[in-house]
């Protein structure tokens, strides 16, 4: 073959390869573009053909159960989200505000809140495994209690996450400022804003994988802190001041006076710290196996015991409650007010190096919470659209299972983070958070109430508890205890808002802590007025829909599978049986 023929052949091959590459690029762009097309429209057509003869109440339950999410979340994702998913500024910084009430009050406040949230998560997990619908526990309140009550819960839950997103973005920028204050914080806000939205646009897998690795990092960091803290308490480490033990529990003391009011004062930051613990249950509609949610919910126990109770004890031993640096702990942006940083900075050069490490941990934690904010708020917005509580466009789910309109709504809220450049930023966020100030405890109470209503409906309709796929570890008594403790936490926060610690009663402090109460009342009655739903306070137990959207099709088959699973576990060694009970 002549050289010219070879050259011609080579050019032809290169041209073919170039055209093939170009075709691949076009095909990729086409697939990416096509993935954003609306999948739920196709689902809606199928649903409309299947809901004939159903009441509007049943139609809503059916729509929520048939949303086209992709089930990409595995057991490892859910386990890490449950244990470390929302460990953020509430624990690392906000805990300082509660410590100022005394380590004894701090421990009791966190124990009470921890028991309440464990009950809540168990209740929510049972319902979500039984009915893995869009919106999860927020939708369950509408189903088992009352649609107007459910709408109030859902909007408050969505608003709390949406407002937290810009606040946490500002927290990221302020954390960076700990090391470098020369760069305008708005620059860091812009970088983190784009990064978090990009993660969520990848799809649920992007959110889950990010949370998985960030949670591992946070868990290891807290364990390292606990080990270092115990060494310092025992008098070890460089620049040691000797054995500390429970010194600060005796001097300046365990309880700031007045004791009861100081205890109630810890509920505010305890609720903020535990807020988002129920997030793992929200993933039920996107989990490969719904039983994974039940197992992951058990991890909440370890999260409370290790990452909250143990940390509170160690912090109380290392930092006296009258340390003036704790006064900034009410601000989610004041990194220097973190008891973690204070505890380690008290140990000289060693402490300074470790404090830098803890600051990096705080940055990772805040990024993780930002990620959770977008995920949670976007799913709740989607459930409101799917149930027609908002215009149906808000129920937009694309072919990759992304709730695009929900993400857009949260992205718009995220723009508030650029208020970091304003001198009025603190005041703006104080009042934004006031809109959903007490909503966490109200949501916890509502979850327990919907669980109790579900169990009551089973009894009134003559159905057996054997129909429940995955029962709560605490049973129905956990629902009663969770509801009671949530009510007590609400009463305690109202009390301390009316009669603030170290100050006189004033309207501004009250509404900053309790503005959400009148707003929730307005939303509740406004929804009833618009929907003309003047039914009793709760749906009659005989009318509650117990069949639509079940996670299984055959009750007897489900019972048989559970029996086989129990028999399999029963044949394992005792250490494995103990492990499966708690994990």
Give the CATH number for residue 453: 1.20.1740.10
Q: Is residue 83 part of a domain?
A: yes
- The residue among 197, 158, 195, 155 whose CA lies nearest residue 176 is 195
Check residue 25 and give its pLDDT: 59
Asked if residue 42 is part of any domain, the answer here is no
569 falls within a domain: no
Q: How many CB atoms lie within 10 A of CB 29?
A: 10
Cα(133)–Cα(138) distance, rounded to whole angstroms?
A: 10
64 occurs within a structural domain: no
pLDDT on residue 2: 57
Rounded-to-5 percentages of helix, strand, coil across the chain? 75, 0, 25
Q: Which residues pair with 287 in a beta bridge?
A: 73
Mean pLDDT of the chain: 82
| CA separation, residue 13 to residues 17, 27, 88, 354 (Å) | 6, 21, 56, 59
Look at residue 5 and tell me if it is in a domain: no
CB 71 within 8 A of CB 286: yes
| pLDDT number for residue 125 | 92
Asked whether the beta carbons of 127 and 137 are under 8 A apart, the reply is yes
Report the pLDDT value the prediction gives residue 239, as an integer from 0 to 100.
64
Coil, strand or helix at 38: strand
| pLDDT confidence of residue 448 | 95
CA distances from 321 to 99, 104, 223, 226, 317 (A): 6, 10, 23, 19, 10
How many distinct structural domains can be found in the chain?
1
- Point out the residues of the chain with pLDDT beneath 70: 1-28, 30, 32, 40-53, 85-86, 89, 237-241, 327-337, 345-355
In a domain, 23, yes or no: no
Q: Is residue 565 part of a domain?
A: no
CA-to-CA separations, 456 to 253, 291, 465, in angstroms, rounded: 46, 23, 11
pLDDT tens digit string along 166-202? 888 888 888 887 787 788 888 999 999 999 999 899 8
- Which residue range(s) make up the domain with 508? 72-550
Indicate yes or no: pTM above 0.85: yes
> Coil, strand or helix: which one is 437?
coil
CA distance 190 to 192: 6
Instruction: Determine, yes or no, domain membership for 564.
Output: no
> Looking at residue 407, what is its pLDDT?
94
């Amino acid at each position: 073959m002549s050289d010219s023929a070879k050259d011609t052949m080579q050019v032809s091959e290169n041209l073919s390869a170039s055209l093939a590459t170009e075709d691949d690029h076009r095909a990729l762009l086409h697939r990416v573009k096509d993935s954003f097309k609306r999948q739920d429209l196709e689902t809606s057509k199928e649903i409309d053909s299947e809901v004939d003869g159903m009441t509007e109440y049943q139609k809503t339950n059916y729509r929520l159960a048939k949303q086209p999410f992709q089930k990409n979340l595995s057991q490892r994702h859910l386990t890490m989200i449950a244990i470390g998913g929302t460990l953020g500024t509430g624990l690392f910084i906000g805990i300082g505000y509660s410590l100022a009430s005394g380590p004894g009050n701090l421990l009791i406040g966190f124990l009470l809140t921890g028991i309440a949230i464990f009950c809540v998560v168990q209740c929510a997990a049972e319902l979500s495994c039984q009915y893995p619908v869009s919106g999860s526990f927020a939708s369950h309140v509408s189903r088992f209690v009352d649609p107007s009550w459910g709408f109030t819960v859902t909007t408050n839950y969505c608003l709390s996450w949406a407002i937290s997103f810009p606040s946490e973005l500002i927290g990221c920028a302020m954390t960076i400022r700990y090391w470098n204050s020369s760069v305008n914080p708005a620059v860091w806000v812009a970088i983190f804003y784009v990064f978090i939205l990009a993660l969520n646009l990848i799809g649920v897998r992007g959110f889950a994988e990010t949370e998985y690795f960030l949670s591992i990092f946070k868990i290891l960091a807290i364990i390292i802190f606990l080990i270092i803290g115990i060494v310092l308490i025992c008098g070890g480490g460089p620049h040691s001041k000797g054995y500390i033990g429970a010194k600060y529990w005796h001097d300046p003391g365990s309880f700031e006076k007045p004791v009861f009011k100081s205890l109630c004062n810890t509920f505010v930051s305890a609720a903020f710290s535990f807020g988002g613990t129920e997030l793992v249950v929200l993933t039920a509609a996107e989990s490969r196996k719904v039983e994974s949610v039940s197992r992951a919910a058990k991890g909440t126990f370890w999260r409370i015991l290790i990452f909250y109770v143990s940390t509170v004890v160690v912090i109380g031993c290392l930092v006296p409650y009258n340390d003036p640096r704790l006064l900034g702990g009410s601000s989610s942006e004041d990194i220097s007010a973190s008891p973690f940083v204070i505890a380690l900075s008290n140990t000289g050069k060693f402490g300074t190096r470790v404090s830098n490490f803890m600051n990096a941990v705080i940055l990772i934690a805040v990024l993780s919470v930002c990620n959770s904010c977008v995920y949670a708020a976007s799913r709740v917005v989607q459930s409101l659209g799917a149930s027609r509580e908002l215009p149906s466009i808000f129920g937009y789910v694309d072919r990759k299972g992304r709730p695009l309109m929900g993400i857009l709504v949260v992205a718009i809220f995220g723009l508030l983070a650029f208020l970091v450049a304003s001198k009025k930023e603190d005041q703006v966020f104080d009042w934004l958070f006031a809109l959903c100030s007490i909503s966490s405890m109200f949501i916890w109470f509502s979850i327990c109430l919907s669980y109790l209503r579900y169990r009551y409906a089973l009894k009134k309709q003559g159905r057996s508890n054997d129909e429940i796929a995955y029962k709560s570890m605490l049973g129905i008594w956990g629902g009663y205890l969770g509801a009671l403790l949530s009510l007590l936490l609400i009463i305690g926060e109202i009390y301390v808002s009316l009669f603030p610690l170290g100050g006189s009663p004033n309207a501004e402090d009250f509404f900053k802590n309790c503005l959400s109460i009148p707003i929730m009342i307005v939303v509740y009655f406004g929804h009833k007025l618009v929907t003309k739903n003047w039914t009793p306070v709760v749906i009659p137990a005989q009318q509650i829909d117990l069949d639509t959207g079940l996670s299984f099709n055959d009750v007897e088959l489900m019972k048989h599978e559970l029996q086989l699973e129990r028999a399999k576990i029963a044949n394992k060694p005792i250490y494995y049986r103990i492990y499966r009970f708690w994990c």
